[in-house]
Amino acid sequence: MSCSVSDALERRISTRAFLDTPVSEAQVRDLLTKASRSPSGGNLQPWQVNVVTGDARQRVIEAVRASQAENPLGEPELEYQVYPKPIIDPWRARRFACGEAMYASIGVPREDKTARLLQFARNFEFFGAPVGLFISLHKSMQPGQWSDCGMFIQSFLLAAEEAGLATCAQEFWAAFPKAVKASVGISDDYTLFCGIALGHADPDAPINTTRTERAPVDEFAVFEGF
């Protein structure tokens, strides 16, 4: 399967329901090799990746579930703040609209808190994806390297789309850094940034029909001198 960069950008979504179809180590290695061509200042290539499947994947799931049982809202010592506090408009409105669209796709109203929590808990299982990746950076790295890491992640997501695979970048895991790092062997010298679920999308899952809106260019860009 092949597609242009434009096609991959248009088609990529945060997939939240996967088939159990395996993804081979060779496939993951190929995607990581392609993503490694991402730009980075001074060619530092600051990303560190831990890939899990099978028993290793299950070990992470069980470790985070155990941590979540003691810390329902996340571990007390977070390594970074995922969202600003408070989050203000227009960013607050965008996040709210994203959540509402996702839950509407599976017919879960706002007042059904139990159903929403059950869907949120699917994060713990990589939404059923057979492969999980964890992205981390050495704690000496600065905002420039975090930006580089974001470009690496985007490159990986687009390469996966080109290969006919689906992904979901999950900052959810950053709420449980201690459990994740201990279960996959990430050094305390590194900050856990996010996870990525990788696999084949379930074509019959209504939640995979969710398409979030994007702001028009004139809302976030200023043009001069043209």
Nearest to 52 by CA among 60, 62, 63: 60
* Residue 200: strand, helix, or coil: coil
Give the length of the chain. Answer: 226
pLDDT in tens, 138-162: 999 999 999 999 999 999 999 999 9
- Alpha-carbon distance of 132 to 195, in angstroms, equals 7
Give residue 123's pLDDT. Answer: 87
Give residue 1's pLDDT. Answer: 53
Domain positions in the chain are 5-211
pLDDT in tens, 195-216: 999 999 999 999 999 999 999 9
Give residue 143's pLDDT. Answer: 96
pTM: 0.94
> What distance lies between CA 127 and its chain's CA centroid?
11
22 Cβ partners below 8 Å, 6+ apart?
53, 130
Give residue 204's pLDDT. Answer: 96
Identify the DSSP state of 18: B
Give residue 2's pLDDT. Answer: 63
Identify the DSSP state of 36: T
C-alpha distances (whole Å) from 157 to each of 49, 71, 72, 87, 124 are 14, 30, 29, 26, 20
Segments of the chain scoring below 50 in pLDDT: none
Give residue 44's pLDDT. Answer: 98
C-alpha distances (whole Å) from 189 to each of 138, 179, 185, 192 are 6, 15, 11, 10
By the 10 Å C-beta count (0-12 exposed, 13-18 middle, 19+ buried), 110 is classed as: exposed
- Alpha-carbon distance of 75 to 138, in angstroms, equals 20
Look at the domain 5-211 and name its fold.
NADH Oxidase (3.40.109)
168 Cβ partners below 8 Å, 6+ apart?
14, 15, 16, 126, 127, 129, 196, 197
